[in-house]
């Protein structure tokens, strides 16, 4: 054979998935390598080329739907442009719901492959399609057994048929997952099963995920867990999740808000459940900046209390949230009145008192009463250190692992860590707002957010820390924060709503470090996403491009001093909310050092 005739030539064999793959592997002593497809940036470039558009999460949906395979991406983007007004999100929704009227090339090509499979193998693939994360061989076997009632040898035989065809991918640790590009076809078959069989499969998957949480604390499966709850219609659990502070840190929606909105207006659900469904929805409304909807939800919550005699705890929840909303709207008189009303129903409990005082501190911060806010926040930092059994020396120059060893493990450990980090972050914001450096407040806040696994807050405080390092002229330190902490966290946890902001900030930091070409290249990679971005996001990227251009013209590099850091501004320096932030981040002031809305979301959850 030609392959045996030389040791100096290397051969690449491109092959369609087929049963003969096993024969080729055995004959030549080689192992197949599955092509993984385009990256998110490459997909965005193709979508833009086809005159289509979408948000970053929409691009990720398209990547998952097509497996990133170029032909499938191209035809899906073209279909979006011709049939869905260029909206790839709408196209993905139609294909996922199987309501698209025009077949994609992916469906045409892969349907032929799928229909050649034995009947049982197709059923196995259909059940595996309900999980978009790898399952261990034991987990997959249990899922198939419960769903289809087949034996272990039959399951193994089906997997042996599916793997050579690329229908099922095998990962290290004997983990299995259906190929992304075939999931739509698998789900189509799965949805044709009888309703009882579908329910059994999803309930079994839920059990497997819960067990993996308990044994391995594997957060990568949490989005799948939420989607499974939505599919099963388990409203009570969804409502409980939506009112948990840590849940919102993970940046998951997965249809939960639509389910909560339905629950909030379902007369068959008791008043307390409706109240807490509304409680979770307030977060989504505030995040989207929907002021009218937020006020409407708060009014509905108060109405449920009045008409159904709900308890003091519900009254406390709605009053705290109304106070924070009034603060955001600049209604100081209403805030001061709310403070007195809240004290009337506030339990005589140290933990409740700390949370209340923290809400007061943030209300004062939003109202620009910085001295009062800072005083309360400093007191809370000291108290939370005591609660957690820590001294400042336990944190200085210590890793998170070393700090964790010193902690007093209380029932509310996770919340106490998060609230300590929040209090430190409040101290930092108050210091900056008064023209002062925040010292180590943000560094320590980042440590405690990490210990609390508060992913969203960890990203936010590190972005602020990068800006502060730029203000201190420590450009290399700012780059290390982004490369060692921010980007890995955003990518690992797929925080897609934040990725463009972090990458734009990274481009600015690269320019401060004198790496102008890399900065321009990074911003250029963001251009294909522009058609699906909001005007504010586009303006932010434009500001960053202008700033990179200025830094190149000035030949800025490490060692040069930034003369206008945010924390050195005097009170007389007025900055418009839509102006570039003087800290040099390239972000708008209202989205950088003038931003209090992000922390306000956390307060609504905590309230």
Q: Express each pLDDT in 580-600 by its tens digit.
A: 665 555 556 555 555 443 443
Segments of the chain assigned to CATH 1.10.8: 1-102
- Residue 109's nearest CA partner among 179, 40, 191 is 179
Report the Cα 32 to chain-centroid distance in Å: 34
Segments of the chain assigned to CATH 1.10.10: 118-232
| CATH architecture assignment, domain 1-102 | Orthogonal Bundle (1.10)
pLDDT at 258: 81
Give the C-alpha separation, 356 to 577, whole Å: 29
Could you say which residues of the chain have pLDDT below 70?
A: 1-7, 14-22, 34-35, 100-101, 173, 217-218, 253-255, 563-607
pLDDT at 29: 77
Number of Cβ within a 10 Å radius of residue 154:
16
Give the C-alpha separation, 231 to 202, whole Å: 8
Three-state secondary structure string covering 422-439: HHHHHHHHHHHHCCCCCC
Q: Per-residue pLDDT tens for 172-217? A: 768 899 988 888 889 989 999 999 999 999 999 999 999 988 887 6
pLDDT at 444: 95
pTM: 0.81
Question: What is 118-232's CATH number?
Answer: 1.10.10
pLDDT at 607: 38
Three-state secondary structure string covering 137-197: HHHHHHHHHHHHCCCHHHHHHHHHHHCCCCCEEEECCCEEEECHHHHHHHHHHHCCCCHHH
pLDDT at 443: 94
pLDDT at 476: 94
pLDDT at 3: 60
pLDDT at 441: 94
Q: Which residues, including other chains, have CB under 8 Å from residue 75's CB and lie 6 or more apart?
A: 104, 105, 106
pLDDT at 143: 96
């Amino acid at each position: 054979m030609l392959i045996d005739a030389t040791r100096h030539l290397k051969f690449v064999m491109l092959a369609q998935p087929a049963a003969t793959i096993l024969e080729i592997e055995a004959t030549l002593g080689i192992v197949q390598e599955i092509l993984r497809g385009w990256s998110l940036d490459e997909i965005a470039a193709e979508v833009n080329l086809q005159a289509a558009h979408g948000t970053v999460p929409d691009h990720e949906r398209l990547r998952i739907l097509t497996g990133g395979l170029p032909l499938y991406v191209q035809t899906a983007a073209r279909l979006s442009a011709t049939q869905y007004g260029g909206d790839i999100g709408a196209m993905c929704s139609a294909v996922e719901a199987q309501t698209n009227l025009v077949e994609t090339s992916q469906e045409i090509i892969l349907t032929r492959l799928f229909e050649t499979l034995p009947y049982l193998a197709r059923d196995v693939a259909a059940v595996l399609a309900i999980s978009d994360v790898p399952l261990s061989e034991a987990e997959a076997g249990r899922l198939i057994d419960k769903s289809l009632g087949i034996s272990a040898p039959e399951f193994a035989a089906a997997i042996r048929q599916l793997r050579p065809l690329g229908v099922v991918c095998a990962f290290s640790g004997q983990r299995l997952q259906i190929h992304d590009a075939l999931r739509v076809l698998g789900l189509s078959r799965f949805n044709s099963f009888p309703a009882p069989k579908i329910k059994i499969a999803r309930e079994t998957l839920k059990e497997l995920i819960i067990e993996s949480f308990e044994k391995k604390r594997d957060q990568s499966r949490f989005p799948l867990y939420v989607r499974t709850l939505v599919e099963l219609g388990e409203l009570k659990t969804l409502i409980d999740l939506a009112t948990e502070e840590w849940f919102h840190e993970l940046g998951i929606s997965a249809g939960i808000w639509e389910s909560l909105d339905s629950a909030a207006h379902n007369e068959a659900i008791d008043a307390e459940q409706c109240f807490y469904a509304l409680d979770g929805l307030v977060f989504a409304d505030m995040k989207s900046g929907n002021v009218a909807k937020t006020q409407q939800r708060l009014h509905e919550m108060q109405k449920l209390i009045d008409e159904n005699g709900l308890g003091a705890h519900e009254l406390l929840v709605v009053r705290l949230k109304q106070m924070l909303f009034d603060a955001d709207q600049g209604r100081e008189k209403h805030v001061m009145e709310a403070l007195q009303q809240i004290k009337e129903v506030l339990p005589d409990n140290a933990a409740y008192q700390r949370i209340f005082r923290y809400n007061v501190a943030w209300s004062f911060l939003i109202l620009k009463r910085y001295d009062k806010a800072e005083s309360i926040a400093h007191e809370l930092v000291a108290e939370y250190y005591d609660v957690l059994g820590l001294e400042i020396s336990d944190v200085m120059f210590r890793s998170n692992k070393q700090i964790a060893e010193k902690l007093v493990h209380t029932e509310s450990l996770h919340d106490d860590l998060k609230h300590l980090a929040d209090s430190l972050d409040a101290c930092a914001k108050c210091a900056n707002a008064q023209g002062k450096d925040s010292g180590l407040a943000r560094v320590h806040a980042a440590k405690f957010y990490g210990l609390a696994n508060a992913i969203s807050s960890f990203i936010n405080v590190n972005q602020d820390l990068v800006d502060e390092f730029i203000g201190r002229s420590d450009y290399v330190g700012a780059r290390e924060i982004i490369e060692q902490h921010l980007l890995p966290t955003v990518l690992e946890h797929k925080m897609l709503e934040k990725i463009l902001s972090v990458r734009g900030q990274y481009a600015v930091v690269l320019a401060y470090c004198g790496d102008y070409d890399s900065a321009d290249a990074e911003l250029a990679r963001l251009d294909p996403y522009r058609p699906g971005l909001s005007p504010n996001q586009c303006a932010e990227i434009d500001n960053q491009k202008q700033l990179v251009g200025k830094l190149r013209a000035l030949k800025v590099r490490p060692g040069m001093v930034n003369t206008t850091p945010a924390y050195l501004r005097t009170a007389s320096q007025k900055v418009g909310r839509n102006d570039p932030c003087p800290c040099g981040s390239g972000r708008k002031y209202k989205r950088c050092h003038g931003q209090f809305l992000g922390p306000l979301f956390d307060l609504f959850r905590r309230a």
